[in-house]
Structure 1
Amino acid sequence: MSKLETKCLHAGYESAEPTTHAHAVPLYRTASYRFDSTEHAANLFSLKELGNIYTRLMNPTTDVLEQRLAAMEGGAAGLAVASGTSAIFYSIINLAKSGDEIVAA
């Protein structure tokens, strides 16, 4: 994908959804996901395997958004958060070092 318009429409979602064969990105409006077993859940929460745990941590629709924005901006990855305050927090926490002081008004 080289043109911006193509990236805006298709990045992060390469194939049709396997269950419904939808061409557009499905909106997953669930808060939680089913685990195959307690071992599967433990592996997901310990990041031994990738997968959906809880919508605020990972959601298939949000994942496509993050991949699409990263592709549009030429970045390695993207992160979508729930609010501007969260975005500011993540920006500062990644710039500040241990022992740094942050003054905010």
Structure 2
Amino acid sequence: MISFFTKSKGHLKICEDSLTASVFDLLKYLPTEIFWKILKKSLYHDKLPGISGELIGIRFWEKWSSDGTSNLRYVEPDVFVEFSGFWICNKKLYG
């Protein structure tokens, strides 16, 4: 939840951004293996590897270049999770 406020996303209310920050701000404190199992089981398609490597970092609402996309100005993923084995970007986590 701290990330929701430090990124100046708004005021406390039930919304996608506060839910994303709340969930990932707590998951990052779990051992990496448990975090990875939860993340892997939460996806519709089980296409992620069994082992992720160590959690390197979680970043929220970064603005990336729109080059190569249909976006006009930028791409803003809700959450970017990086592991030592690879990284995961999920532009729209909930729906």
The interval holding the TM-score normalised by the smaller chain is under 0.3
Point out the structure with the larger strand share: 2
TM-score normalised by L of structure 2: 0.26
TM-score by length of 1: 0.25
Report which of the two has the higher share of helix: 1
- More contact order relative to length (CA 8 Å, sep ≥ 6): 1
Rg larger in 1 or in 2? 1
